[in-house]
Structure 1
Amino acid sequence: MAILDIQIVSASLAEVQAGLAAAPDEASWIQSSYLIAEIVMIPLSGFLSRAISSRVLFTLSCAGFTLFSGACALADTLPAMVVARALQGFVGGAMIPICFSTSFLLYPGAERVKISVLISLTATLAPTIGPSLGGWLTQALSWHWLFLINLPIGTAVAVTAWLTLDIDRPEPGLLARFDWWGLLFMAGFLGSAEYVMEEGPRWGWFDDAEITHLALVCALCGALFLWRALTRAEPIIQLRAFRNRNFLMGCLLSCVVGVGLYGLVYVLPLFLARVRGYASMQIGETLFITGLCMFLSAPLAGRLAKLMDLRLLLVLGMLLFIASCLWIARLTNLSGFWEMAVPLGLRGTAMIFMFMPINQIAFGTLPPAEIKNAAALYNLMRNLGGALGLAAINTSVTWRGAAHRQHLTEQLGWARPNVPVWLDNLAARIALVQPDVPADLAALRRLQGLMQREALVLAYNDVLVLMAMLFLLAIPCVAIVARPRTGPGGH
């Protein structure tokens, strides 16, 4: 639910914006407030799970997430929605790392491979089906059900977790040594970083005074947070897990996978909406093939994990993802489901083949005592990778779109003999249908619209190629990784 709610609103943002009477440039805060709050809680969850136990923290997190989901559904103004989304993201952010750490603490040996496949399927499937489920709920019911759907599920999960789980023992003495200054610096660092990455491409990065000021806040708070983490006897985030080579490389690879996980789910809906004019339901139907192939590939991934080196399985997944990106990177203004079905299915298989080995690589050589804090850091890196990826994608679309528009404009000059002929013919047809409209001007506007559309298509193709190049450059990192073991913790 926590991962799904990152993406479930994206396909229906226009409907939510209209329901709240918000301006288009304000609606992005519905997403940003959730992401900023969640990214602050994720690293904090390691300390809190040690202090009050994983069972108590998960139950409180799930119950709070469910409660504030209801508040989101009841919101009737943008400020109320933003506050509810921020609280929903902050309180619910602890669930994700607790699931990762618990899977490694409770399931030893071969059982860990099975549970890792299920967790990988959940973590990758949720962002993929988010637009599909969101579009269907909005069209079939209303946008309120984007949040109301969490209520029965969240209640059942919270009650079940409280009554049945026994994971670890709390260390309440940690709360007396809680580093409040460290929390303040961490919140300032991660919150401002997330905002800068979310809003930077939209406002021209450092051309905007607010972005510049928050970037300075990010740098200052980041330095102070690092100082507290390295000098305190009991910091809120333990960074010593990064001394483990496999965990460090696992976090780096998780960051790269985060770009692919969230990047394609962001780029393709934009293409289908802005170029093809698809509604949210049509976008969801087009992307659904990825989720289907994830389900079908999960048993195969589990079988291969037992038969081959996990590092080879990871490389196979990365190569499949590269092939998927390069295949899709031939978009035209007519591309739709049938043109994307096979590469999107390939992407679903690739995500499962990558995600599960990376989990094992990151945690497979860590001692059990470090896994809780490590899970928080690991999930933080994946989310930061997604945020960095989306910022880079938005910036690339803007820059490459401008470059393609300039190039196409040069090719559509009056010196080209077919351009005046095409404009004259179009103007003549417009004059017949709409005699009161300035036909020459309407024809020029039509040509400009076509040029902008084609520039946008080319820019999206460039982004897909860049994404493939990123994964290609990341493959050598796998050679640095030691072969992960399947015993508990580092045993």
Structure 2
Amino acid sequence: MATATTAAIPARPAPSEDALPSTRRIVAFLAMVFGMFMAILDIQIVSASLTEIQAGLSASSDEISWVQTSYLIAEVVMIPLSGFLARLLSTRVLFAVSAAGFTLASALCATATSIEQMIVYRAIQGFIGGGMIPSVFAAAFTIFPPSRRAVVSPMIGLVATLAPTIGPTVGGYISHAMSWHWLFLINVVPGVFVTIAAWTLIDFDRPERDLLSKFDWWGLIGMAAFLGSLEYVLEEGPRNDWMQDETVLVFSIVLAIGAIVFFYRVFTQEEPIVDLRAFTNVNFAFGSVFSFTMGIGLYGLTYLYPLFLGQIRGYDSLMIGEALFVSGLAMFITAPLAGFLSTRMDLRAMMMVGFLGFAAGTWQLTHLTADWDFYELLLPQILRGMSLMLCMVPINNLALGTLPHDRLKNASGLFNLTRNLGGAVGLAVINTVLIRRNDFHYGRLAEHVTWANPEAVKKLDDMTRNFQSHGLDGPTAALSKLSGMVAQQATLMSFIDVFYLLTVLFASLAVFAMLMRKPPAAAGGGGGH
């Protein structure tokens, strides 16, 4: 990769060990953190309320999934681009414009009258909102001394993990108490305040306008084609049998071409659209792999819990939200503990504890039954929430704590991207496993539910008599009920298979945690997305 040119305006010096940022900068940083919270929350806030939005927009079941997909595709393109834009425009301009655009797009989403309008507005919302997220991590390193990062790191880590976790809960309450329009309108007033605070208070850096003449448009086109198509293929592939679907096949080809163009430009341009040199740092490389895997756990379980409660337990959006608040509460309580431990124990050991705790939680879920409710899910949710925080702080401290300040803007974008891609890949794998294993288990169970099985015949006869006693068509109702029981059991077994895979994955990560190098005692990082 070509060496980047020196900025025309010298970078601000790194904060000293004991220097405290001014009140102005602290308030500006808190406003940025809140803006990041809004952007991350909006990924999942609609997940428990898609049925209400579908009814309101008269959308089909295939179309409604694009309310989330369009947001994710647009956001995943902006996140790595934000590092270059922050250098070109300055953190102040990028964040303020992103906050203003996100607020406006949120208002537009609430006014959508068709699914087509909603998809366009959500894409705009995701793209512009993606500019806020990585800026917070670079700002944390710019304005806070290393001695204060034990406080700042858990704060950002909490926001980054709490927002997607409580998204279904918040969305369920809002859509039930008011209407789905308020899922987006709640962003407007806070968004205005965040925009004003960002524009008037942020003074962390200065723009490097000379970068505009070196902007790599072909690199941007290649990156958009690569990441956007990748997100689409991962989202739509599992439900459309991957390459058997013509559209998925076309986007796979676009993905391959975009990847070739993107990586060629990255390694040949003087100022590439994304600087990959951060991966030469061993800790950042390993930390990005761990961040990718944490994305699988974070977004995977945020998807699996509501799916189980909706499909098996028949919960509506409000009931799902009430059942899932525990993980968020556990994260909130564990955040200060994670900050305390990060200054008093080997971060690699702390990370191992987090991985093993996560594996313990998913192992408990391998005993899932159709009767599991709030209390059965309580301990797995607590283990998940605590473990995410115990993993998040050390992963980010180890990955970002040893990078030079001039690489932080690009590195924070890449680091956030790995978590998003981990979530996308994880959901694609999870959906594929659920579909394939459900078919497998249904076939195996159906082999035993035949007229040659005395127990199956007895069960069918008992149900037939029961339905007939209620004046129903006994044989037909009994067969339908028995088929539903087999389908439900097959679905449960496919869920258990996924939880086995997650258990093995996170238990394995605990072994690899010690491969990272221990950073200097003062080094620290931010959270992730």
After TM superposition, the score normalised by the length of structure 1 is: 0.98
Does the CA contact (< 8 Å) of 2:397 and 2:524 recur in 1? Answer: no
Alpha-carbon shift at residue 489 of structure 1 (Å):
8.6
Q: Number of paired residues?
A: 488
3-state SS, counterpart of residue 63 of structure 2 = coil
2:468 counterpart of 1:444: no
Corresponding position: 1:172 with 2:206: no
**Partner residue, 1:395:** 432
Q: Separation in 1 of the partners of 2:381 and 2:257?
A: 41
Aligned to 1:407: 444
C-alpha distance in 2, partners of 1:485/1:228? 34
Q: Give the Å deviation of 1:485.
A: 2.6
Q: Offset of 1:136 from its aligned partner?
A: 0.1
When normalised by structure 2's length, the TM-score is 0.91
Q: Is 1:471–2:506 an aligned residue pair?
A: yes
- Deviations 1:16-36, CA, capped at 9 Å, x for gaps: 011000011110011100000
Give 1:488 shift: 6.5
Contact 2:441/2:493 (8 A) holds in 1: yes
Deviating more after overlay: 414-423 vs 391-400: 414-423
From 208, 232, 245, the equivalent of 2:282 is: 245
Q: Residue 462 of structure 1 aligns with which residue?
A: 497
Contact 2:91 2:202 in 1 (8 A): no
Quick one: distance in 2 between partners of 1:488 and 1:468?
Answer: 31
Following the alignment from structure 2 to structure 1, what is the Cα–Cα distance between the partners of residues 354 and 279?
24
Distance change in 2, residues 1:489/1:426 (3 Å) = closer
Match for residue 154 of structure 1?
A: 191
Extract structure 1 runs of 4+ deviating beyond 3 A: 486-490
Matched, 1:483 2:507: no
User: In the alignment, which residue of structure 2 is the partner of 1:100?
Assistant: 137
Query: Hey, what's the Cα distance between the residues in 2 that align with 1:13 and 1:259?
Result: 22
Deviation of 1:459 after TM superposition, in Å, equals: 0.8
Q: Which residue of 2 aligns with 1:350?
A: 387
Kept in 1: contact 2:229–2:251 (CA 8 A): yes
- Contact 1:248–1:362 (8 Å) recurs in 2: yes
Match for residue 54 of structure 1? Answer: 91
- The answer to which of 469-478 and 67-76 deviates more is 469-478
Which residue of the partner structure matches residue 459 of structure 2?
A: 422
Contact 2:442–2:490 at 8 Å: present in 1 too?
Answer: yes
The residue aligned with 2:261 is 224
Match of 2:8 in 1: none
| Conserved 8 A contact 1:66-1:151 | yes
The Cα offsets for residues 384-405 of structure 1, whole Å up to 9 and x where unpaired, read as 0000000000001011111111
Q: CA deviation at 1:362?
A: 1.1
- Distance, in Å, in 1 between the alignment partners of 2:428 and 2:81 is 24
Taking the aligned partners of 2:95 and 2:438, their CA distance within structure 1 comes to: 44
Letter in 2 for 1:102: A
Equivalent in the alignment of 1:20: 57
Separation (CA, whole Å) in 2 of partners of 1:132 and 1:375: 28
Secondary structure of 2:240's partner?
Answer: coil
1:432 Cα deviation (Å)? Answer: 2.9
Any idea what the Cα deviations from partners look like across 1:273-299, whole Å, max 9, x if unmatched?
Answer: 000000111111111011111111111
Amino acid corresponding to residue 232 of structure 2 in structure 1? Y
Matched with 2:113 is 76
SS in 1 for 2:238: coil
Cα gap change, 1:236 to 1:486, in 2 (>3 Å): farther
> What is the rounded CA distance, in whole Å, between the counterparts of 2:221 and 2:443 in structure 1?
46
Gaps of 5+ in 1: none
- Native 8 Å contact 1:107 1:488 kept in 2: no
Deviations 1:66-106 (CA, angstroms, capped at 9, x unpaired):
11000000101000000000000001101111111111221
Return 195-204 or 453-462, whichever deviates more. Answer: 453-462
The one-letter amino acid paired with 1:440 is P
CA distance in 2, matches of 1:62, 1:88: 10
Cα distance in structure 2, aligned partners of 1:288 and 1:475:
27
What are the equivalent positions in structure 2 for 1:185-334 lying under 5 Å apart?
Answer: 185-334=222-371
Contact 1:108-1:486 within 8 A present in 2 as well:
no
C-alpha contact 2:109 2:184 (8 A) present in aligned 1: yes
Query: Residue by residue, what CA displacement relative to the aligned partner does 1:221-261 show, whole Å, maximum 9, x if unpaired?
Result: 10110000000001110011111111101100000000000
Aligned with residue 127 of structure 2, among 81, 90, 104: 90
Partner of 1:141: 178
Between the two proteins, what is the percent identity of the paired residues? 49
